[in-house]
Amino acid sequence: MNPLLPDNGIRLSRRRFVTGLAAGGAALAAGRLLAAPAEAVSTPELTGERFALRIGYQRVNFTGVERLATTINGSLPGPVLHWREGDRLRLRVTNQLAEDTSLHWHGIVLPAAMDGVPGMSFHGIKPGESFDYAFEVRQSGTYWYHSHSGFQEQTGHYGALVIHPRAPDPFACERDHVVMLSDWSDEDPAQVHAKLKKLSHYYNFGERTVGDLWCDIQAKGVAQTWRERAMWNRMRMSDSDISDVSGYTYTYLMNGQPPAVGWTGLFRPGERVRLRFINAAAMTYFDVRIPGLKMRVIAADGQPVEPVTVDDFRIGVAETYDVIVEPAGDTAYALFAQAIDRSGYALGTLTPDLGLKAALPTMDPRPVLSHADMGMGGGEHPGHAGAGAADAAADGGMDHSSMDHSTTNNATLDHAAMGHGAPAMGSGAAGYGSSTPVRHGATEYGPQVDARAEPSGYRLDDPGVGLRDHQSRYGRRVLTYADLRHRYGTPDPREPEREIQLHLTGNMARYMWSLDGIRFADAEPLLLRLGERLRITLVNDTMMHHPIHLHGMWSDLETGDGARIPRKHTVSVPPGARVSYLVTADAPGNWAYHCHLLYHMAGMMREVRVAAGDA
């Protein structure tokens, strides 16, 4: 048996493997083994205006068993690329794989032809061929890059981007570290997806037990417990279904290091340390904390925000957060990133001395979904007032499932005549969210959809399932979207000309994902008029978090302050909630718009076309 193709791992047919060797040469066979269980390997860093990146195969060992990964320049993660705002870049990407590949520059504003999405903005990169990306850097901050081909992102095809500003950085620090989080499986990702299609909760080992039932009866009584269990049974869902894929198959990595090894970042006494957190996972949300250190959040998705000091933050798939910490000179600190379902964690150490190690933090309790997480009880979680209350009033507490929406077109809601009274969340004024009631179109009543949240409210000040009691129980402040304020003011203060309401939909039993109940293969493109300002309202009718990424344009998140709307490239929508953001359609061309959970992406996606003329 070929040692590069270990049994029961990620495997290629002999024909494809030979083709890959022909494309990439014999360097693979001589390549070093990455991340053996007791060995730390540092991530390379590249600087300049010209870059040569090679996509190829590499042996890795994160669990004690060798597997085959997809790597960039032989590294997992790929090299940290340092760019400078205003520079004109040229990046030659060479495919040494046995299949097509691509590179997407996540969150980067650039021409559509350089965006790197096969079938939408270019044709992809064939085996043995190269593609030259060329564009001017028009922003600064922390971003990342990854494959947009098949499941390559799951097998290691990603890396970090650090873009240095031309002007002096107001948050310049003495030490600067990238902290890239990801999830790795020894299973072939195609097998993972196939298992989910057959049994959507295959990887959920946190299901409720008879013991949990007895505890519920003692705490709530038989009648309430029966009602709650009946509700979940009617929806054919589980209140423990937090993540589709868990630590049962995943090993969680920090800068390519498994917890058994751990990543180490050094600092000198008295230094301020900037940590650039990037969630490059395929499917995992992480809850991040550094016991003993406060974190001052200064940027979200590469864009500057008014500093806010927190103890914990949740980072959705594809999001980035920059934080500043000020560690004491004689102490080591654990960088602890728990998977949202508490099935595992990524681990690192911030230390002034390689001989100092931090104690392993205690894992928080496993979260359990509530009725409020499915949009019940007025659209807000108990104890978090404000947005949800406004939405409940707007929706009138209606049961939308009994209404006839056969004529509703969610993609073309007329928002031109909406009222703009005193600013309040849900008022419709720029920065304050949509005043349009939630409407379910006829396409949501079919085999692609098995649940609809009623009604869906804004819960931007809700820390989220598993984090809500951290302040009262542990004295730990948790970052929420409501805390984010743009440091320099709303970039485009115009009122939106129209609104697009999109529903994030799915059928968990069949593991099918869609928008408005329509899978990507059957969907018409969303048409935007070049230069227009519009609002997109996302309504999550599922019990899963969905990180939604619009390529090519910023998503200006409406958090309740019209003067300080924060810019993001990826917006996380909690279960049973809605989120609104404003978009300036200033990027002509065809763009991808999708959920960034890798196994959802094929269905929960749209093509967005931006062109002059009527939308």
pLDDT digits (tens, 9 = 90+) for 186-198: 999 999 999 999 8
Q: Are strands 263-266 and 273-279 parallel, antiparallel or unpaired?
A: unpaired
What is the per-residue pLDDT for 72? 98
Is 499 or 13 the better-scoring residue by pLDDT? 499
Residue 181 tokens read as 């989080």
Q: Which helix (H) or strand (E) holds 228?
A: helix 222-234
Mean pLDDT of 352-372: 87
pLDDT at 205: 74
What is the arithmetic mean of pLDDT over 125-138? 98
Question: If phi over 0 gives left and psi between -120 and 50 gives alpha, with beta otherwise, what is residue 489?
Answer: left
Q: What span, in angstroms and rounded, lies between the C-alpha atoms of 221 and 214?
A: 10
Q: What is the pLDDT of residues 426-451, one digit of tens each?
A: 888 999 999 898 888 899 898 888 87
User: Residue 568: phi, psi to the nearest 5?
Assistant: -140, 160
Contact call for residues 587 and 552 (beta carbons, < 8 A): yes
CA 615 – CA 613 distance, rounded (Å)? 7
pLDDT at 96 over 70: yes
Burial 123-148 (b: 16+ CB within 10 A, else e): ebbebeeebebebebebbbbbbbbbb
pLDDT tier for residue 199 given thresholds of 50, 70 and 90: confident
With tokens 């520079």, the residue in question is: 87
Structure tokens at 529: 């008029």
pLDDT of amino acid 105: 98
With a cut of 70, say whether residue 252 has pLDDT above it: yes
What is the predicted pLDDT for the residue at 242? 85
The two beta strands, 498-507 and 533-540, are parallel
Question: Residue 456: what pLDDT?
Answer: 72
Residue 412: CA atoms inside 13 Å, Cβ hemisphere, count? Answer: 10
Give pLDDT, residue 42: 86
Q: Is the pLDDT of residue 164 over 70?
A: yes
Report whether pLDDT(420) > 60. no
The pLDDT of residue 211 is 57
Residue 306: partners with Cβ closer than 8 Å, 6 or more residues away: 485, 486, 487, 564
Q: What is the DSSP letter of 149?
A: S
Of 393 and 604, more confident: 604
Out of 300-304, 471-475, 611-615, least confident range:
611-615
Indicate the angle between helix axes 210-220 and 222-234, nearest 10 degrees.
130
Over 60: is that where the pLDDT of 404 sits?
no
| Alpha carbons 612 and 28: distance in angstroms, whole number | 48
Where does the pLDDT of residue 121 fall: very low under 50, low under 70, confident under 90, or very high at 90 and above? confident
Backbone angles phi, psi at 378, to 5 degrees: 85, 10
Per residue in 25-38, pLDDT tens?
433 433 456 656 55
Note the pLDDT of residue 543. Answer: 85
pLDDT of 385 strictly over 90: no
pLDDT digits (tens, 9 = 90+) for 285-342: 999 999 999 999 999 999 999 999 999 999 999 999 999 999 988 899 999 999 999 9
Tell me the three state secondary structure of residue 378: coil
The H-assigned helical ranges of 290-398 are: 387-395
The pLDDT of residue 367 is 86
Confidence (pLDDT) at 17: 35
State the pLDDT at residue 328. Answer: 86
Mean pLDDT for 576-600 is: 96
Which pLDDT belongs to residue 26?
A: 34
Which band of pLDDT confidence, cut at 50, 70 and 90, is reported for residue 457? confident
Which of the four pLDDT bands, split at 50, 70 and 90, describes residue 613?
confident
- At 12 the pLDDT is 45
Strand (E) positions, 165-222? 175-185
pLDDT at residue 537 is higher than 90? yes
Q: What is the pLDDT of residue 217?
A: 56
Task: Give me 77's structure tokens.
Answer: 């993660």
The reported pLDDT for the residue numbered 421 is: 40
Is 11's pLDDT higher than 50?
Answer: no
Is residue 164 within a helix (H) or strand (E), and if so which, with residue range?
strand 158-164
What DSSP string runs through 295-327? EEEEEETTEEEEEEEESEEEE-TT-EEEEEE--
Write the single-letter amino acid at 357.
K
Specify burial of residue 362 (Cβ count, 10 A radius: 0-12, 13-18, 19+).
exposed
pLDDT at site 238: 60
Would you say 601 and 332 are in contact if contact means Cβ atoms under 8 Å apart?
Answer: no
Dihedral over Cα of 189, 193, 195, 200: its sign = positive
* Contact between residue 186 and residue 63 where contact means Cβ atoms under 8 Å apart: yes
Q: What integer pLDDT is reported at residue 14 of this predicted model? A: 35
Q: Backbone phi, then psi, for 305, in 5-degree steps? A: -125, 160
Asked if residues 180 and 361 have their Cβ atoms less than 8 Å apart, the reply is: no
Q: Is residue 383 scored above 60 in pLDDT?
A: no
pLDDT beyond 60 at 412: no
Model-level pTM?
A: 0.86
Dmax over Cα atoms in the chain, in whole Å? 71
- Supply the pLDDT for residue 215: 62
Identify which of 229-233, 364-368, 611-615 has the greatest average pLDDT.
364-368
Task: Band the pLDDT of 218: cuts 50, 70, 90.
Answer: low
Q: For the ranges 168-177, 187-196, 443-452, 482-491, which has the lowest average pLDDT?
A: 443-452
Is the pLDDT at 521 greater than 80? The verdict is yes
pLDDT of amino acid 243:
83
What pLDDT shows up at residue 21?
38
- Tell me the C-alpha distance between 21 and 31, whole Å: 12
Identify whether the C-beta of residue 69 lies closer than 8 Å to the C-beta of residue 108.
no
